[in-house]
Amino acid sequence: MTQHEEPEMTTSQLDIKHVSEQVQAASEPFRRLERETHEIIVGQDQLLHRMLIGLLANGHLLIEGVPGLAKTLAISTLADGIEAPFQRIQFTPDLLPADIVGTLIYRPDDGEFVVNKGPIFSNVILADEINRAPAKVQSALLEAMQERQVTLGETSHPLPCPFLVLATQNPIDQEGTYQLPEAQLDRFLLKVSVSYPKKDEELLIMDRMASTTPPGTTRQIVDSAVIESSRSILDQIYIDPVIREYIVDIVNATRYPSKVDTRLKLLLRAGASPRASINLAIASRAKAFMENRSFVTPQDVKTLAPDILRHRVLLSYEAEAEDLSTEMVIDRILAKVPVP
C-alpha cells in the first residue's frame, strides 16, 4: 500500500456501511410522516415518536391520558399518513366480542354459514377507551393482538399485515370501567403516558384549533410494503453485547431490586417478564432507525425503558402507602443500574 492509498475496508466495516445506507434511505419516509403529523398535532412529540416505533417494531401501544389531550386525534392523523385500512372501535360496557371480530351468518338459501368479518380486520386499529370493555371483549382482542388471527367458528382467519392496535384509556374516570388483566397489559409493546401541553404549545393549539374549520389531514406517505421492508432492515441494526447485558440488567433489577438497592426491595411486588427484555431490544432498534443510525446506544435503552416497564411492574403496598408512582420507582432503578 502506497502512502496515498486508503486502507481497504474489512467485511464487517462494509456490512456496517451497507446497513447504514439502507437505514438512511428507508427511515426517510417515516421521518417525513412524523413531520407531516406535526403540521396538525402540536406538541406530543413523545407520543408521535412512540407510535412510529410501535409501527416499525410490530408492537401495540397503550396510550393513557386525561380527556382532551388529542390522543385520538394524534392516532387518526398518523393513520391518515399510512396507506392502509384504519378502523376506530369505541369500547363500551355493552360491547360484544362479535362487534369486534365478526361472526358467522346463516344463509337459508344456501344452507351455509358465511363469515362476516368485524372491524378488527384492518391494518391500524384505534381501540378508544379500551378499559370500558368487559372481560370477554378484552379476551377476544387479546387473541387478535398476540396471535395475529381471529377464530370464527372452527376456522382461524389471519389478520392483515401490518397489524397495529393503538389503545387509549382515561386514568381518572374509573366508573364503568374494567381493569385490563396483566396478561393483556403484557401484550402491549409500550405504555405511553400523555401529559398536559406547555404554555407556548397550548397557545399554538388555540391558534390552530379554535376555529369552526376541521383540522386538515395527513398525506399518505408510507404503505404496507414500505413498512415490511423497513422491518427487515430493522433486524440488521447492531446491538453490542454490552448493551444487551444492560437491557437484561435493567429488567432483572425489577425482579430482584435488592441487588441494585436494598431500599427498592420493599417497593416492588412483581417484576417484568422476559418479554420486557425482548421488547426493549426491538424498540431500541426502532428508535435507532428513526434517528438514522445502524446501531443502538445505551441512551436508546434508557429513554425507552420507562415506556416498556411502566405496565409490567407491580408496586408493593409500601410504595403505594408512600405515594410513589411506577415512574418514580423505575427512575430509581435506572439511576442505580450501571450504564455501559
Alpha-carbon span 316 to 325, nearest angstrom: 11
pLDDT for the residue numbered 61: 94
The rounded percent of the chain whose pLDDT value lies above 70 is 94
In this structure, is the dihedral angle defined by the CA atoms of residues 313, 316, 320 and 323, taken in order, positive or negative?
Answer: negative
- Residue among 273, 262, 257 at smallest CA distance from 311: 273
pLDDT per position as a tens digit, 58-69: 999 999 988 888
List CB contacts of 241: < 8 A, sequence separation 6 or more.
none
How confident is the model over 9-32, as a mean pLDDT? 76
Q: Comparing 2 with 287, which gets the higher pLDDT? A: 287
pLDDT: which is higher, 216 or 155: 155
Is-contact 38 48, C-beta < 8 A?
yes
Where do we find the cell 398476540?
146
Q: What is the pLDDT of residues 34-49, one digit of tens each?
A: 888 888 888 788 899 9
The string of pLDDT tens digits covering residues 60-95 is: 999 998 888 888 888 888 888 898 899 999 998 888
- What Rg do the C-alpha atoms of the chain give, in angstroms? 22
The whole-number pLDDT of residue 220 equals: 84
Q: What is the pLDDT of residue 38?
A: 83
How many CB atoms within 10 Å of residue 181? 13
For 172-200, what is each residue's pLDDT tens digit?
A: 766 667 788 777 788 899 999 988 888 88
3-state secondary structure of 272: coil
Q: Identify the CA nearest to 250 among candidates 269, 274, 229, 266.
A: 274
Beta-bridged to residue 64, according to DSSP, are: 169, 193
pLDDT for residue 15 is more than 80: no
Amino acid at 167: A
Q: Across residues 261-288, what is the average pLDDT?
A: 89
- Rounded to an integer, what distance in angstroms lies between the CA atom of residue 142 and that of residue 147? 8
Residue type, 272: A
Q: Give the CA-trace dihedral at 13, 19, 22, 28, to 10 degrees.
A: -110
pLDDT score at 141: 85
pLDDT of residue 272 exceeding 60, the answer is: yes
- Categorize the per-residue pLDDT at 12 as very low, low, confident or very high, splitting at 50, 70 and 90: low
What are the structural domains of the chain? Answer: 11-90+121-141+160-236 (3.40.50.300), 238-340 (1.10.8.80)
pLDDT at 135: 83
CB-CB contact of 129 with 88 (8 Å): no
Residue 9 is predicted with a pLDDT of 45
Q: Which among 282, 275, 261 has a CA at the least distance from the CA of 309?
A: 275
Q: Looking at 74-88, 239-253, 298-312, which range is the least confident one? A: 74-88
The percentage of residues in the chain with a pLDDT greater than 90, rounded to a whole number, is: 31
The grid coordinates listed for 164 are 397495529
Distance, in Å, from the CA atom of 100 to the CA atom of 146, rounded to the nearest integer, reads 15
Whether the Cβ atoms of residue 95 and residue 134 lie closer than 8 Å to each other: yes
In terms of pLDDT, which residue wins out, 245 or 215? 245
Residue 277 clears pLDDT 90, i.e. is over it: yes
Cα 247 versus chain centre, distance:
18
pTM for this one? 0.87
Peptide bond into 162 cis (omega under 30): yes
Which of 315, 73, 35, 318 minimizes the C-alpha distance to 197?
A: 73
